[in-house]
Amino acid sequence: MKIGFIGSGNVGQTLGHVLVEQGHDVKLGARQPAKLTNWKKSLENSGLASVGTYQEAAEHGELVINATPGVASLEVLQLIGQKSLAGKILIDVALPLEFTNGELRLSIAPNDSLGEQIQQAFPETKVVKTLNTVTSALMINPLNLAEGQHDTFIGGNDTEAKNKVSEYLRQWFGWKNIIDLGDISSARATEGLLLLTSRIYGALGHSNFNLKVIR
Amino acid sequence: MKIGFIGSGNVGQTLGHVLVEQGHDVKLGARQPAKLTNWKKSLENSGLASVGTYQEAAEHGELVINATPGVASLEVLQLIGQKSLAGKILIDVALPLEFTNGELRLSIAPNDSLGEQIQQAFPETKVVKTLNTVTSALMINPLNLAEGQHDTFIGGNDTEAKNKVSEYLRQWFGWKNIIDLGDISSARATEGLLLLTSRIYGALGHSNFNLKVIR
């Protein structure tokens, strides 16, 4: 599948790498694509890894993944514009966090969310919020923790899009438990979870953890 | 132990009942104590259950538990005043939630919390935020779900107070896993979790669930 990443930081590079290895045709979109030489080189034998502008990555993808820092996401997506994203599924893994005086804060919460703002700004795009509650290492390798017996969440307004993305998460990364929280406003819940996971990180001293809903 | 409840709704009555059964001298404080006749009657053989004003309950308790609706907590506590709560541990299980147009909202979030506001208003009281992420049924009976293999969180500025309250949770209710999230500002994380748990409730269709940190 042709997949375009908006954003080329840790999350974009990590997910992009795995997806190339699985045979997908991946373009990482960046503000300065020239800085991604190392990423591209490490995958050059595949012939499936390319880099480009945000716009080029969006146009490349049948499926597009927003992996920009959440505080910049809307601005970047609006530069790309409606047309390149219309009719497509946009998987949004971004978190609208910022540090103020050394303190972690959510820039959009609790009664709104980045997922909703993107969906509202791009009504012809099917925004699916998922994976945004775990580290990139866990995103691509949930089986590395407790044999995958923990949960990720998914939210979005389009049920078919959520079903497709859930299937991708199973096939690509091996996610076993994907809990559908409803429409895109559930992004308030999953983005807000950062307040808890950052505290748990502080309590445990490492980030190799995830939540499981015991029922 | 003499325990005073500020608030006499479902949470206060449920926890109060169990604590009387365990031999504690419990006073439920309410705006209209006369309405608690049934609760008091159901426990009258014990000789340990009483009702009174908020003020009387606060003065009664060596340990005080805030079980008021979160949107009213500060107002009620300020009516009681500093003196009756000074030097005491105040376990805060309240949630600052409100419904606006049928939509659940957090009235204090994400960069502040009820726990912090109470601690700030009552500097001589040791505020400990805990149990506020589960239903009252689970608060008092964690063993009823997966043999207690799930987590509650605790936060507060006074380590000794947190240790005491953790011991109470183990002794009174059988909590096995209590994760210390740090100072009282961690109440942002646990109060905010309501956004997620309300969504999970919607997805599962029942409230007999809790989170476990898989690590």
Residues B1, B174: Cα–Cα separation, whole Å? 18
Q: Which chain B residues are within 8 Å of A111, Cβ to Cβ?
A: 105-106
Q: Is residue A143 within 8 angstroms of chain B, CB to CB?
A: no
Q: Is residue B186 within 8 angstroms of chain A, CB to CB?
A: yes
Enumerate residue ranges in chain A where pLDDT < 50: none
Structurally, at CATH architecture level, domain B2-204 sits in 3-Layer(aba) Sandwich (3.40)
Does the distance separating the beta carbons of A213 and B214 come in below 8 Å? Answer: no
- Please give the pLDDT value at position A101: 85
pLDDT of residue B73 exceeding 90, the answer is yes
- E-strand ranges in A7-101 read 25-29, 49-52, 63-66, 89-92, 97-100
Q: Which chain B residues are within 8 Å of A149, Cβ to Cβ?
A: 214
Residues B49, B20: contact at Cβ < 8 Å?
A: yes
What is the predicted ipTM?
0.95
* Residue-wise pLDDT tens digits, B87-140: 999 999 999 999 888 888 999 999 999 999 999 999 999 999 999 999 999 999
Q: Which chain A residues are within 8 Å of B142, Cβ to Cβ?
A: none
Q: With residue A174 as reference, give the H or E element that holds it.
A: none
* Residue-wise pLDDT tens digits, B133-180: 999 999 999 999 999 999 999 999 999 999 999 999 999 999 999 999
* Residue-wise pLDDT tens digits, A95-143: 999 988 888 899 999 999 999 999 999 999 999 999 999 999 999 999 9
Q: Which chain A residues are within 8 Å of B190, Cβ to Cβ?
A: 196
Least Cα separation, residue B97 to chain A (angstroms): 11
- Please give the pLDDT value at position B100: 86
Inter-chain CB pairs, A–B, below 8 Å: 109
Tell me if residue B156 falls in helix, strand or coil: strand
Question: Who among B195, B208, B214 is closest to A210 (CB)?
Answer: B214
Instruction: Take residue A110 and report the two structure tokens written for it.
Output: 């609790």
Does the distance separating the beta carbons of B193 and A196 come in below 8 Å? Answer: yes
Q: Is residue A98 within 8 angstroms of chain B, CB to CB?
A: no
Global model pTM greater than 0.80: yes
Q: Which chain B residues are within 8 Å of A101, Cβ to Cβ?
A: none
Does the distance separating the beta carbons of B202 and A195 come in below 8 Å? Answer: no
Q: Is residue B41 within 8 angstroms of chain A, CB to CB?
A: no
**Measured at the alpha carbon of residue A31, what is the angle toward residues A28 and A33, in degrees to the nearest 5?**
50
A153 forms beta bridges with: A179
Least Cα separation, residue A96 to chain B (angstroms): 12
- E-strand ranges in chain A read 2-6, 25-29, 49-52, 63-66, 89-92, 97-100, 103-106, 126-130, 151-156, 177-182, 210-214
The torsion of the CA quartet A139, A143, A149, A151, rounded to 10 degrees, works out to: 10
In this prediction, residues B186-194 reach a mean pLDDT of 97
